[in-house]
Structure 1
């Protein structure tokens, strides 16, 4: 037997067939044409064209940027900021050197026995060369005089 109820004609009963929702249709089709003109050469905010309408902030920004570049403001800004830029570049360079130096020391420290051997070499050097110069008063005065002379020449006073 058939599971669908039938009316007298052999077809399904119209009262019991659920209605199907209509399929959605495309309301409009949007087509965008490619522009061969570069972005900076497109129409400004006051011109009638494809960019006129709501918004226009991008065009306004580009216009102000073009005016700023044409007035030579970039050169005066660079002249004012050259010293801070140089200091910033020097700071970045020092930080880079310190990072490389730290990585090199870390690599040496990770090798087995090397840190202990370097520490031993430092102790041997101190005992061999440093202690005899510090024991005698004449050698000590000569060493301290040489260090103070180097310090003054380093500071530009001697």
Structure 2
């Protein structure tokens, strides 16, 4: 399939489509419409970039966890460290009533701040 040359082009054998396309693109760029489109798409573009960045960070994080999981003894040691931390720091806060009340008040303040009520 061949495209016939445009009427009025310099060389009827070469066509003039490329020149026409470049002149139209140049005129569009000079008209300032690209800047208007950029301004109107700034917020969606920022949101899209944030989503892409989040996906990238999650992929790197998953790869790091996969690498740690493949090492012998590391998953078990990390689980043991987590259990020790919960027993050492979390359990005393749940056993004493004053600490428990303070913890629930702090969680309630954070929840209200998250909801925008404070």
The TM-score normalised by the length of structure 1 is 0.61
Q: Tell me which residue corresponds to 2:62.
A: 102
Q: Tell me which residue corresponds to 2:80.
A: 120
1:54 deviation in Å? 7.0
Q: Tell me which residue corresponds to 1:35.
A: none
Q: Tell me which residue corresponds to 2:52.
A: 92
1:49 deviation in Å? 2.8
Q: Deviations over 1:91-129 (max 9, x none)?
A: 111111111111111111111101101101111111222
Q: Structure 1: which 5+ runs fail to align?
A: 1-44
Q: Which has the higher contact order (CA 8 A, sep 6+)?
A: 2
Q: Tell me which residue corresponds to 2:3.
A: none
Describe the SS at the equivalent of 1:64.
helix
1:58 to 14, 18, 22: 18
Aligned partners of 2:38 and 2:13: how far apart in 1?
37
User: What is the correspondence of 1:12-51 to structure 2 with a 5 Å cutoff?
Assistant: 48-50=9-11
1:81 to 7, 28, 41: 41
Q: Is the CA contact (8 Å cut-off) linking 2:10 and 2:16 kept in structure 1?
A: no
Aligned partners of 1:93 and 1:73: how far apart in 2?
28
Q: Structure 2: which 5+ runs fail to align?
A: 1-5
Aligned partners of 1:55 and 1:46: how far apart in 2?
9
The TM-score normalised by the length of structure 2 is 0.78
- Structure whose alpha-carbon radius of gyration is higher: 1
Aligned residues between the structures: 113
CA RMSD of aligned residues (A): 2.3
Which structure has greater helix proportion?
2
